Amino acid sequence: MGKVTGFLEFERTDRKYAPVEERLRNYNEFVIPLPESDLKQQAARCMNCGIPFCHTGCPVNNQIPDWNDLVYLDDWKTASANLHSTNNFPEFTGRVCPAPCEEACTLNLEDTPVTIKTIECAIVDKAFENGWVKPDVPAKKTGRKVAVVGSGPAGLAAAEQLARAGHDVHVFEKFAKAGGLLRYGIPDFKLEKHLIDRRVSLMESEGVTFHYGAHVGVTVKAKELLDGFDAVVLAGGAEKPRDLPIPGRELDGIHFAMDFLPQQNRRVGKEAFDATDILATGKKVVVIGGGDTGSDCIGTSARQGATAIVQLEILPMPPEKADKLTTWPNWPLKLRTSSSHHEGASREFSVLTEKFSGENGKVKTLHCVRVDDRMKPIPGSQFEIEADLVLLAMGFVHPVKEGMLAELGVALDPRGNVKADTEAYRTSIDKVFAAGDMRRGQSLVVWAIREGRQAARAVDEFLMGVSALPR
Ligand SMILES: Cc1cc2nc3c(=O)[nH]c(=O)nc-3n(C[C@H](O)[C@H](O)[C@H](O)COP(=O)(O)OP(=O)(O)OC[C@H]3O[C@@H](n4cnc5c(N)ncnc54)[C@H](O)[C@@H]3O)c2cc1C
Ligand code: SF4
């Protein structure tokens, strides 16, 4: 612990955002890093708790008090080595993680957790600036071949760990570039994509081969992977969106969020796509769904120049503050207001959309009703909202079953995800493993990284009998 009295001396300070009118002009990241002197003070606030509750909050078990101490002592290089020992991609989590570690931090009992995510991001950004992040090329190759399907955070983490263990790793990705939802779901204003490119080239130097435009179960037979590789890791995400099958759903102008968001990411990345443009420019937009994906639709619509944005959520508005005594150190239910909400959207809770209506085949109106806490419509509370564009952001139900999963005939769990436990990560098919959203269902980047790392260890053990990869 660098400074015993740090938490008494220094107030919590965190990164600020560029002003709304400035950040809406482009799709760049807009979080302003803290100066180094502030970062050291923030790190000094860490109490090095006897029981570091931040660890229990962090799915990759980042050794948070250790690197807080190293930052306070100005040893950024060792801090980076420590951080990378548990997390392959801290530059992603340092930007997009909802930071369950901060919710679990002991200082959060007083609403002033250590700024863990900001410190994490600063460590890895500094490490790249100083050239400390180098490819970790294995001294010896094992001669074993592993196929990884999907290049989201789970597939990337699994591939990197397996390559470092000396295996010959091939990643099969149906899209033109790597990253999964990091690249095509999360907007550039939250995560600029050159950060993914930088990691991918490091992984290529570590010996990982990427095959793009390789849609397993469609353009590449799953059987080819079974025949050609000693193990296969399924990390294809949970891509089946939840639909809203109500009258009028077929009208033009009603789209899944994941038909809308990837188009903008591709425009920014100068990647061609062969679908009709879905744009919010000059439109009244309604986003149905109150989560992260909904927020990303708001931020993207605002940048495209929507004239009005309304977000609807069927659940009641959560309390503004968490009830710490009943929830801490666990993830609390509380109202979460994202940077996108500040960019000009109104939010409505406890609202059910009963039907859409339109003119000339185009959506014009949402017919809504307010619901009680049990989601039962309240009689007489019907109202209408005008809309030219409706974005459905109600989450994802399970992986796409057609194609690869059907061809493999792999067993699914009751929720429709690929069935595999978190010890062996093995599916019902010999030498086939599963990790990330494809196994656990729609989740978070940090959980995908954890699962990719753990599945890699399981595969390494399966191939070699023992594994030196971290659990
Ligand atoms: C819009 C949006 C915003 C989000 N924002 C956040 C956030 O801010 N913070 C956060 O922590 N989480 C966020 N999430 C969730 C997070 O992105 C996911 O939990 C995470 O990316 C899952 O990682 P994954 O590797 O399991 O799957 P994915 O990221 O979905 O990657 C799966 C990859 O597999 C490929 N694939 C699928 N099937 C095949 C096949 N048959 N052949 C070849 N390739 C295939 C896909 O093309 C894709 O590249 C967000 C999700 C969405 C949709
Ligand atoms: S819980 Fe908070 S104060 Fe305690 S060790 Fe972790 S980061 Fe430091």
Segment 55-95, tens digit of pLDDT: 989 999 999 999 999 999 999 999 999 999 999 999 999 99
Probe ligand 1: pick from 93, 151, 184, 186, max atoms within 8 Å of CB?
A: 186
Ligand with the closest atom to the CA of 51: 2
Distance from Cα 379 to the centre of ligand 1, integer Å:
40
Q: How does residue 4 score in pLDDT terms, banded at 50, 70 and 90?
A: confident
Atom of ligand 1 minimally distant from the CA of 179 = 49
Does the C-beta of 180 come closer than 6 Å to ligand 1?
yes
Question: pLDDT exceeding 90 applies to what percent of the chain?
Answer: 97
Confidence tier at 3 by pLDDT (50, 70, 90): confident
Q: What spacing in Å lies between the alpha carbon of 262 and ligand 1's midpoint? A: 12
Over 80: is that where the pLDDT of 438 sits?
yes
User: Which atom of ligand 2 has the smallest separation from the CA of 108?
Assistant: 2
Q: What is the dihedral of CA 207, 211, 217, 222, to 10 degrees?
A: -30
Phi–psi pair at 431, nearest 5 degrees: 60, 15
Q: Is the CB of 99 under 6 A from ligand 2?
A: no
Tell me what the mean pLDDT of segment 387-404 comes to: 98
Distance (angstroms) between ligand 1 centre and the Cα of 324 equals 31
pLDDT at 270: 98
> How far is Cα 382 from Cα 355, in angstroms, rounded to an integer?
11
| pLDDT at res. 2 | 67
Q: Which atom of ligand 2 is closest in space to residue 47's alpha carbon?
A: 3
Whose CA is closest to atom 15 on ligand 1? 444
Provide the phi-psi class of 129: left if phi over 0, else alpha when psi is between -120 and 50, else beta.
alpha
CA distance linking residue 358 with residue 253, whole number of Å? 10
Q: Whose CA is nearest to atom 2 of ligand 2?
A: 105
442 Cα–ligand 1 center, Å: 8
Instruction: Provide the mean pLDDT of the chain.
Output: 97
Which of 430, 428, 448, 432 is CA-nearest to residue 440? Answer: 448
Q: Which atom of ligand 2 is nearest to the CA of 46?
A: 8
Q: Stretch 162-179: mean pLDDT, rounded?
A: 98
Query: Cβ(443) to ligand 1 under 6 A?
Result: yes
Over its C-alpha atoms, the chain yields an Rg (Å, rounded) of: 23
Q: Which residues on neighbouring strands pair with residue 169, listed in sequence order? A: 146
Which protein residue's CA is at the shortest distance from atom 1 of ligand 2?
105
- Residue 150: CB within 6 Å of ligand 1? yes
pLDDT at residue 44 tops 80: yes
Cβ proximity of 385 and 310 under 8 Å: yes
Q: What is the mean pLDDT of residues 108-126?
A: 97
Record the pTM: 0.97
Give the per-residue pLDDT at 364. 98
Could you tell me where the beta strands, DSSP code E, fall in 177-336?
Answer: 209-212, 231-234, 240-241, 254-256, 284-288, 308-312
**Which residue bears the tokens 């080239």?**
201
Nearest to 224 by CA among 149, 292, 141, 287: 149
Residue 10: predicted pLDDT: 95
What is the arithmetic mean of pLDDT over 427-433? Answer: 98
The string of pLDDT tens digits covering residues 246-284 is: 999 999 999 999 999 999 999 999 999 999 999 999 999
In whole angstroms, give the CA distance from residue 124 to residue 144: 31
* Residues 85, 161, 159, 157, CA torsion sign: negative
Report the pLDDT averaged over residues 202-218.
98
What is the C-alpha separation between 320 and 427, in angstroms, rounded?
Answer: 41
Q: Name the residue of 48, 51, 54, 86 to mutate for ligand 2: max ligand atoms within 8 A of Cβ.
A: 54
| Gap from CA of 110 to ligand 2 centroid (Å) | 13
Query: 54 C-alpha vs ligand 2 centroid, how far in Å?
Result: 6
Residue 114 CB–ligand 2 contact under 6 Å: yes
User: Residue 237 C-alpha to ligand 1 middle, in angstroms?
Assistant: 5
From CA 136, how far away is CA 403, in angstroms rounded?
Answer: 35
